[in-house]
Amino acid sequence: MATQTFDLAVLGGGPGGYVAAIRASQLGLKVAVIEQENIGGVCVNWGCIPTKALLHNAEVIENVKEGNIYGFSFDNLKLDYSVAQKRSREVSNRMMKGGEFLMKKNKIQVIYGTGQLTSPTTLNVQTKTGEETVEAKYIIVATGAKPRTLPFLPVDGKRVFTYRQLLEYTQTPKSMIVVGSGAIGMEFATVFHAYGTQVTVLEVLPRILPNEDEDISTEMARAFSKKGIKTMAGVKVDGATIGDDGVTINISANGQAQSLKADIVLQSVGIAPLTEGIGLDKAGVAVNERGFIPVDDTLKTNVANVYAIGDLTGKLALAHVASAQGIIAAEAIGAQMGKFSGHLNKLNYDAIPRCTYSHPEVASMGLTEAQAKDKGFSVKVSKFPFQANGKAVSLNDYTGFIKVIADAKFGEILGVHLIGPRVTELLPEYVLAKNQEMTAEQIMHSVHAHPTLTEVLGEVAEGIEGLPIHI
């Protein structure tokens, strides 16, 4: 059994792992990435990237359906979802190959296979051709997470799906039930509705998008209802029957039992960390009661030379969080090896953007209004609607608003919540402001170009200061 030696071995080549590997290589470390499938992980291959391709297709279709507004019409519009699905796979493959190129460019050795820690400094890798031993002074665990599923809804890729199977699906069902109203559920609901599917979204918690500000949830429920997407919150899923002609879901809501039937069901009820079976016990790495790996600010585990990044840390399960954590871990390791003498960044999770790419889009950062009040803050709240923004009206896409929560005493920005056109692209100004401890007053005095969607960022800041102009 061959043995290879490195400064750093990264277990998992997703958006956390490959970014950590690149940063470590830039610092002069000899690096290996152990990946069982494709560079880019779930994000590039089965998550962020292919879903965005599908969502763009859906956006184009929605615009075409409104052709009379723009002065064109179709006698017989035909939609072929299989073409959209094929394009999504092509986009993913292109991005995956880009990741492979970056590995070569940065002289990172990629070992394709299933890795398992055998000690704090060694891994066993089962490849297609046999076994290899990897020795490393430092190890970063970046194996990610998998979808949670309900025990009475076994995934078969025919009637019952997780996002992974649904991204391989090439048909347009007549009807679809989405169990779970987080980002994944809402995005797939948007896509399939655009292609004519009757979609019903179920949520066990009292409102859809339960992690967002309550005003966002209310606005999204209204927007989906206007489109014809049904949402049901406060619903308990009690059981299911899978048949040749569809799936029947038994639910209870407000003490009333009922049944819903659809051609297919998507489960999007959360994730579970991929920490079992990777040898953490052999390396002495601790996990908590939920299976996640506790880490410090530098992403170090309880074992001095083993770090963990991404979804399995139990922090925000987002690709950009994994990447940011990967850079911090690589620099911390570089500092330990005398290869990095710069400032070691510490992530402020209250200044991390959270995005849902449905239509309308949702973007948020920091505390909701309820959370801010629960923490004892005296708050100022400002909202500015997109219907008062000239660019949004020009685009015929003006559902939604921006909402900012600020500390009434010191002016600190506590939370920012947007729903509307392209809001995932608008939020970063407030992320920067939060990280730089800026106030709404400073944003208000920054001139925003007219006419642009970004004007809402300044307009809502004016509202925090009690000086709104256009509402």
Please identify every residue annotated as catalytic: 450
Position 176, amino acid = M
Other CB atoms within 10 Å distance of the CB of residue 288: 11
CA atoms of 267 and 22, how far apart (whole Å): 34
CA atoms of 199 and 265, how far apart (whole Å): 10
| Cis, bond preceding 360 (omega within 30 deg of 0) | yes
User: What is the C-alpha end-to-end distance of the chain, expressed in Å?
Assistant: 71
CA atoms of 210 and 370, how far apart (whole Å): 12
3-state secondary structure of 445: coil
Cα angle: 435, vertex 438, 442; to 5 degrees: 145
Q: For residues 361 and 420, is the Cβ–Cβ distance under 8 A?
A: yes
CA atoms of 111 and 35, how far apart (whole Å): 6
Q: Which conformational region is residue 15 in: left (phi greater than 0), alpha (psi within -120 to 50 degrees), or beta?
A: alpha
Cα angle: 266, vertex 271, 276; to 5 degrees: 130
Find tokens 């690096």 and name the residue: 31
User: DSSP readout, 275-333?
Assistant: -TTS-HHHHT----TTS-----TT-B-SSTTEEE-GGGGTS---HHHHHHHHHHHHHHH
Nearest Cα to 234, choosing from 250, 255, 248?
255
CA atoms of 31 and 108, how far apart (whole Å): 5
Crossing angle between the packed helical segments 48-65 and 81-105, to the nearest 10 degrees:
140
3-state secondary structure of 381: strand
Contacts of 296 (CB under 8 A, 6+ apart): none
Cα angle: 429, vertex 401, 383; to 5 degrees: 85
CA atoms of 315 and 280, how far apart (whole Å): 19
CA atoms of 324 and 304, how far apart (whole Å): 20
